Amino acid sequence: MEYYTWILTFHVMSFMSWMAMLFYLPRLFVYHVEYKDKKEFVEVVEIQEEKIYNYIGHPAMWATFLSGAWMLYLNPSVLQGGGWMHAKIFVVTFLIMYSLSLNYFRKELKANRCTKDGKFFRAYNEVPTLFALLIVGYVITKTFSFLFTLIAVAIFAFIGYKILTKKEKA
């Protein structure tokens, strides 16, 4: 178990890199859809979208997943610690699906088939923050609190609703 802390370090660094992509890519999507009439600008944004997903985010997602699985293999007792690890794995599953959805939107935008607007991507950009809040909360407290989860989801649902229903100022 001497090298367990090195695996944990790699896991945390991978997670940070993955989250960087999850926080930034939807913001690029906002620029992509709001400036779609500026061809040269969109070409640069598409290059950024592809590089951040393929060279940073997707590899970091796999590194996070594999290092996490390795730590579970080395220390399976964390699965008996009050449900927090099960809750974390559950949320991570949704985070992986979210990450893959970003690749779907990236490809749709590149092919000019995406019908989503900037408001949608602004709200969608809040999703990884909620997932990160839940994951870090479970890991730090080593507990699963249904109330904490419910409050966090409610706050972010409210924020998303406000973003999507915000009227443009004339």
Residue environment code for 119-129, b if the CB has 16+ CB neighbours within 10 A, otherwise e: bbbbbbbbbbe
32 in a labelled binding site: no
88 in a labelled binding site: yes
Q: Alpha-carbon distance 79 to 142, whole Å?
A: 11
CA distance to 98, 104, 106, 108, 114, per residue, from 111 (Å): 20, 11, 9, 5, 8
Tokens of 145: 């609190």
Q: Which residues are annotated as a binding site for heme?
A: 11, 88
Binding site members: 11, 88
